[in-house]
Structure 1
Amino acid sequence: EERGRQALETYRSELERAPPAPGSAADFRSWRGAGAGLDAWHDAVEEASRGAESALQQLAALLHEDVVFHPPSYWKARRGKMLAALILREVGQKFGSSFRYHRQMVDATGTTACLEFSAMVDEIPVQGVDLIRFSEATPDTPQQIVEFKVMVRPPEAALRLKDYMKRRLQEVMSGGGKL
């Protein structure tokens, strides 16, 4: 138990460090150019981290109408832009300022990305990956997210996130929560 507490304190102190230096390998703003959709995703995440109201509109524009969202705690995928936007917004609020991307891997076409992240869920340090698949851009349509898959560890964090999301989605759907 003491080792767990020490690991948590070390992890928290790492998360509370100053943001990465602009242009460093850990600064996701320097990861530009892998794809217009991925650049737009990073812009939306940055806006959300500042609490900007425009982040939700940016996210909505980036999500395809029929996006498929795979949450970390359910086998069944969730479908649709509104539900995916709501889930991503709520998870972003739960993670808050503890959320950080650490690495990015993108395929040669710029349509599939794997983003490694860390955050806190209550007092539990979380590590995970976002696997994002974008549509091909056309002259009339920008790249949009068509599939978003999230995997997290440890299992306890995924379960707490599941409980939080169940509660928040029930509040929103019943009209008692802010959409």
Structure 2
Amino acid sequence: MEFVRLASPVPNQQIDYARFAMQAFRKAVEAADGEAMAACLADDVVFTSPVAFKPYPGKPITAAILRGVLRVFEDFRYIREINDPETNSHALVFETTVGGKRITGCDFIHVNDEGLIDDFMVMVRPLSGATALSEAMAAQFPQIQAEAAEAIAALAAMEQ
């Protein structure tokens, strides 16, 4: 019997590396560990919110937004994971509750060559859930902005 090798070890290692990075993020979210979540983000990450009109560039604001999300989500759980190993792209489908509204959503994540998340987009449904999320996050936004500003100041102090 003849065996055919379908892929070389190098691409498989890259696939495993990207998937490992995504799994680290998933575990951090499921543990509600804001520091571990931030450690998974690239400095130049871009976060696209389901309830804002503009993307948020940079690790400080993205990490602060994710901590804010941890404060408003109730009964959060990932229910499905989809991976595209050729592009280091992942989709994590989740369910949660915000303000008494059930939400189904998806985190679309891209992992860079260093194994860090450099693109993070979230979509949610239904509209009533997106509205509840928008209202809850609006209430969090002063704290989110303060946390991001504090992180930026700490980074600037370290560079001096």
Q: Normalising by structure 1, what TM-score?
A: 0.67
Deviations 1:80-137 (A, max 9, x none): 11111111111122113x1111111100237110111111111111011110011013
| CA–CA distance in structure 2, aligned partners of residues 135 and 174 of structure 1 | 28
- Structure 2, unaligned stretches of length 5 or more? 1-15, 152-160
Computing the radius of gyration from Cα coordinates, the structure with the larger value is 2
The structure-2 alpha-carbon separation of the partners of 1:73 and 1:47, relative to structure 1 and needing over 3 Å to count, comes to: same
Tell me which of 59, 77, 81 is aligned to 2:37: 59
Q: Normalising by structure 2, what TM-score?
A: 0.75
Pairwise CA distance, 1:168: 1.2
> Would you say how many aligned residue pairs link Structure 1 and Structure 2?
133
| CA–CA distance in structure 2, aligned partners of residues 174 and 46 of structure 1 | 25
- Structure 1, unaligned stretches of length 5 or more? 1-31, 49-54, 138-142
- RMSD over aligned CA atoms reads 2.2
Tell me the residue number matched to 2:27: 43
Tell me which of 134, 138, 143 is aligned to 1:166: 138
| CA–CA distance in structure 1, aligned partners of residues 144 and 83 of structure 2 | 34
Tell me which of 101, 108, 121 is aligned to 1:149: 121
Q: Which amino acid aligns with 1:62?
A: C
Provide runs of 4+ in structure 1 moved above 4 Å. Answer: none
SS of the aligned residue for 1:101 comes to strand
Pairwise CA distance, 1:56: 2.1
